[in-house]
Amino acid sequence: MEGRKVTPYEVLSAAVPVVIAAGLFILVVQALSTGRDRATAVKTGIGCSLMAIVALVVILGASGGSGGGPDGPDDPDVPVTDYTLSGGFLTLNGDVPAYSGNAPWRNSDVGLIVVSDDVHSIGSGAFADLDSDVLFEGTPRMAGSAFSHPFASDPVEGGYYMVSAGYYVLVPEVPEDMYTYTVSSGAATLTGISDSWERPECFVMKVPTENYNRYPVTKFNGMSGEGVSPFRGVRAVFSDSIESSGNYAFNNCTTLKCVSLSAIASTAQNMFKYCSSLEALSIPAAATIGNYCFHYCSSLSSVSLPAATAVNQYAFQYCSSLSSVSLPAATAVNNYAFSNCLSLESVSLPAAASIGGYSFNGCTSLKDVSMPLATSIGEYAFTSCVSLESVYMPSVSTINQIAFQSCASIAVFDLSSAVTINGNAFRYAWGVQEARFGDGLTTVATSSFVSWTFYDSTGTTTISKTAEALAGKHFMGTYAALIEVPEGEQSLSPEMLRKVADLTEAAEEARKSLASPDDDEHLPGGDPEEEP
């Protein structure tokens, strides 16, 4: 091919047969002689062959070790790659053919791949098993499996996309007919994205939403065909003009790993439902998170939604990998919002005023909850949060039924602001050792504190004012003690201390023997049917 360097491997492949032939020729000619001349001929032939081989070795050394090797491309019509590998830098100086696990730099310690502007194409398998950063000096086209894992990330100026920190690659042009639009009231809606075109999986997919026939595109309504997944790339990036989305926009895009919607004001219902590979998202302006929005996004590990004021029903239900949540502006967390997020450990809701029913039900790893402004806790909100150790809710006034049932790891409850506590709110909270009540407590439903026992500081059942109305039906059972200490008193009587010790021992035995209370009421009762 014109303009291409001849590699040392090619030189060696061509020269070795010539050297051997030359040596044989000399041997044959000299073999016609006899006696002493024959021995001289043999020595001369061998010497010439050795000298030719030494010359080739010198040529190879002078080339700096560049070029392909015996493990070149499968297609003999594709040139062997012109490259150098030195000090962890792999520099490619010509087009790279396809490889099938036999690239000449495989198993090498490569820290940075430099693709020069002489490279116009890169075949599949070229960088398989390499985790190196890549610097593109030009804009080559790349096969879909050039890398063994995706590199693409955020878009930058000029149509380039980050391949790794500080390095870029140009996304190939895609057919215009893959997008469908509708126009209404002077604005366009991107209504569909077909999946009938070929594109490299390692690239970001940037949806051209800036304008359509002079109309600004302000809404994305989803893709064509239920269950179709056009977002095969690592990340789907939308322009700042997209402010809203239709329901089910990314529903069941099982290969979508990352999405950026920088200007969208709210996420629609079922928007990312069943996106099982979704790992990261950037939705900084969204004020409302729609129903079922991230339902069953099982790979999503962390969520930061700085502008979200409302998290609607089932929004993150069954996000089994979700371990941390940042919702600094959320004022309402609605029913089932984080239900059965099995990896969730800590929740901070500094602005939340209400926590909906079943909102954290079944979050078995949840240990710490901070809700300084919350005034209402919904039914079953924290039921079966068996690891929950700390709950900060100094403003709460209403705790609905079964809200903290079976929260066996909490030792202290501060209910000093509580006004209403409904039935079974703290049922089977075996581990509670201390509870604080305020004078404002006016309503306590039957069985609110099943398994709790109420005593005064002397060990008798004669108790004063607020506590007096709670005796009997509200603090039932013999497995825990709730002790009222008169104001100013610093210690308990010896009799009371003995009673507490006995009750503590009994409670521990109860916890061991009663792995699950024989009462269907402690269970959440399941979820209602999902929306169609």
Per-residue pLDDT tens for 160-192? 444 443 344 444 444 566 666 677 777 766 665
C-alpha–C-alpha distance, residues 95 and 116, integer Å:
10
Highest mean predicted confidence (pLDDT) among 223-232, 361-370, 458-467, 496-505: 361-370
| Higher pLDDT pick, 109 / 388 | 388
Render 339-398 in DSSP notation, one character per residue: TT-TT--EEE-TT--EE-TTTTTT-TT--EEE-TT--EE-TTTTTT-TT--EEE-TT--E
Highest average pLDDT, of 142-151, 152-161, 413-422, 474-483, comes from 413-422
pLDDT of 329 above 60: yes
Return all residues near 141 (Cβ < 8 A) that are at least 6 apart.
Answer: 120, 121, 122, 172
Report pLDDT for 214.
Answer: 57
pLDDT on residue 377:
96
- What does the alpha-carbon distance between residue 51 and residue 49 come to, in Å, rounded to a whole number? 5
Q: What is the mean pLDDT of the chain?
A: 69
Supply φ then ψ for residue 116, to 5 degrees. -70, 170
- Residue 280 pLDDT greater than 90, yes or no: no
Examine the pLDDT at 34 and tell me if it is beyond 50. Answer: yes
Domain ranges of the chain: 8-62, 83-149
**pLDDT for the residue numbered 252:** 78
pLDDT of residue 322: 94
Give the pLDDT of residue 253: 75
With a pLDDT cut of 70, the percent of the chain lying above it is 47
Contact between residue 97 and residue 75 where contact means Cβ atoms under 8 Å apart? yes
Please list, in sequence order, all residues whose beta carbon lies within 8 angstroms of the beta carbon of residue 382, skipping any fewer than 6 positions away: 360, 361, 363, 366, 369, 388, 391, 403, 404, 407
Check pLDDT > 50 for residue 46. Answer: yes
Whether residue 203 has pLDDT greater than 50: no
Q: Quick one: pLDDT band at residue 196, thresholds 50, 70, 90?
A: very low
- What are the start-end ranges of the E strands in 379-473? 390-392, 398-399, 412-415, 420-421, 434-437, 443-444, 454-456
- Judged by average pLDDT, the poorest of 144-148, 247-251, 448-452 is 144-148
* Confidence at residue 393, expressed as pLDDT on a 0 to 100 scale: 92
515 pLDDT band, cuts 50/70/90, is: very low
